[in-house]
Amino acid sequence: MAGEIQNPIIRVRDITVQFGATRVLDGLNLDVKRGEILGFVGPSGAGKSVLTRTIIGLVPKVAGSIEVFGVDLDSSNTSQRRNVERRWGVLFQQGALFSSLTVRQNIQFPMREYLRVSQRLMDEITMAKLTMVGLKPEVADRFPSELSGGMIKRVALARALSLDPDLVFLDEPTSGLDPIGAGDFDELVRTLQRTLGLTVFMVTHDLDSLYTACDRIAVLGNGKIIAAGSIADMQASQHPWLRQYFHGKRARAVMG
């Protein structure tokens, strides 16, 4: 475990993903360092969500290897895989809350499965998580269909954090939120990263998030990472898509 500290928390090597004849990811390499917030951008349909889903194991890959916490997910056995899954949390684009369970039950679902914790402690931790993601305790007994879009994202984040993971995947966490809500969410991710020592892998389109929340940015294009580095590196890049992205009308507005 000592080596884990120097090694990247996610190490993706030469992965190729294909749907029929279309090659979505083509020999992609990516490292995510411990404790950082990595923003992952790219044009719509470039395969950002596909990469996320491939790392999590929801999409099969044709070639390449993925290591998370130093465990190669292909050669790992079930218990090793379980162990890795227990240490990551995933926030899906639409929240993916279980619609027939209340907010409280949604957050407690992973705890019930993986931990042996008393009901009292579970309830208290649920309240703590809700407070952390900026929700009032009153929402605990509501069903997902009774929540607003922003609340769904927050509850989904609380569920993703319920086991105190070391790594969270956020798939477009601020999409569908108003600018103030999105700003709060970025702030929240920052705070949680500080307090819980999280590593965050964030797929986003939100320039504000990139500027305020992310330590490092990786850009996906043509099935590969075309650039990775700090926001300054991105702005200095001469790649045409990056130039358009970081020097377009909206980018200038953000930079003010």
C-alpha to C-alpha distance for 15 and 77, rounded to whole angstroms: 20
* String of contacts with another protein for each residue 10-49, x by CB under 8 A: ----------------------------------------
Least separation in angstroms between residue 196's CB and another protein is 6
Select the residue interacting with another protein from 14, 72, 74, 146 (CB under 8 A): 146
Using CB under 8 A, which of the segments 18-26, 42-50, 115-123, 169-177 binds another protein?
115-123
CB of 66 to another protein, least distance (A): 24
Stretch that binds another protein, among 22-30, 47-55, 108-116, 235-243 (CB under 8 A): 108-116
CB of 103 vs another protein, minimal distance in Å: 13
Does 71 bind another protein (CB under 8 A)? Our answer is no
Interatomic CA distance for residues 246 and 238, integer angstroms:
11
Cα dist from 155 to 169, 183, 185, 211, whole Å: 15, 17, 12, 24
Rg (alpha carbons) of the chain, rounded to whole number: 18
What is the contact mask toward another protein in residues 190 to 209, using x (rule: CB under 8 A)? -x--xxxx------------
Contact characters 212-231, another protein, x per CB under 8 A: --------------------
User: Which among 15-23, 161-169, 171-179, 199-207 is the span making contact with another protein, rule CB under 8 A?
Assistant: 161-169
Residues that contact another protein, how many (by CB under 8 A): 32
CA dist 255 and 211 (Å) reads 8
Asked whether position 164 contacts another protein by CB under 8 A, the answer is yes
Q: Enumerate the β-bridge partners of residue 180.
A: none
Name the β-bridge partners of 15. Answer: 28
Stretch binding another protein (CB under 8 A), from 14-22, 49-57, 138-146, 220-228: 138-146
The maximal CA–CA distance of the chain, rounded, in angstroms, is 56
137 binds another protein (CB under 8 A): yes
* Interface with another protein, residue 143, by CB under 8 A: yes
DSSP readout, 128-189? HHHHHTT--GGGGGS-GGGS-HHHHHHHHHHHHTTT--SEEEEESTTTTS-HHHHHHHHHHH
Q: Name the nearest CA neighbour of 65 among 21, 25, 130, 12.
A: 12
Contact 106, 159 (CB under 8 A): yes
Amino acid, single-letter form, for residue 168: V
Q: Which residues neighbour 179 within 8 Å (Cβ) at sequence distance 6 or greater?
A: 208
124 interacts with another protein by CB under 8 A? yes
Residues that bind another protein (CB under 8 A): 1, 98-100, 111, 115-118, 121, 123-125, 127-129, 131-132, 137, 141, 143-146, 161, 163-164, 191, 194-197
